Structure 1
């Protein structure tokens, strides 16, 4: 997965549009688009802010540690779904 996809997934998961995300990141909407399309690199300080704004700091830790964030999220969702069905 490309880094931009992880950023987009975090933003969309937080229910934010690029227009809503831009002022919280102190950057124009066009920069948000470039970051999400891997046309521009994100500074470390901005990466931290991105995951604070989207309220998924664990994604930043996973990226730093080299963990596939999407695969882990899907696994957790599957496990929780199965657990809930087992209980009911």
Structure 2
């Protein structure tokens, strides 16, 4: 998986330049460039902050967990109304 491309996508989705994101993450523009070109690996804390600052939590979950988790959650949520009806009987 090309994490640099993913991070760049998050940044671009948020509408930030490398310098703007670097300022928000307290990093250099060069550091951001290295992350995005896979010349430097990001640690989990930096990844988490990057996702938070770019407001790409949903996209990050898809990257980390795949789309199956969302299919399962959607399926479970569709059962909630029936579950509530059963509980209200008691």
Report what 2:45 is aligned to.
45
Q: TM-score, normalised by structure 2?
A: 0.69
RMSD of aligned residue pairs (Cα, Å): 1.3
* Structure 1: stretches of 5+ with no match in the other structure: 68-88
Which runs of structure 2 are paired with 1:1-88 in the superposition (5 Å)? Answer: 2-66=2-66
Shift of 1:63: 2.1
Deviations 1:21-61 (CA, angstroms, capped at 9, x unpaired): 00111110000000000000001011110011110111222
SS at the partner of 1:38? coil
Q: TM-score, normalised by structure 1?
A: 0.70
Deviations 1:7-29 (CA, angstroms, capped at 9, x unpaired): 00110111100010001111100
Aligned residues: 67
Q: Where in structure 1 do 4 or more consecutive aligned residues deviate above 4 Å? A: none
Q: Which has the larger radius of gyration?
A: 2
Taking structure 1 as reference, are residues 66 and 41 closer, same or farther at Cα in structure 2, changes over 3 Å only? farther
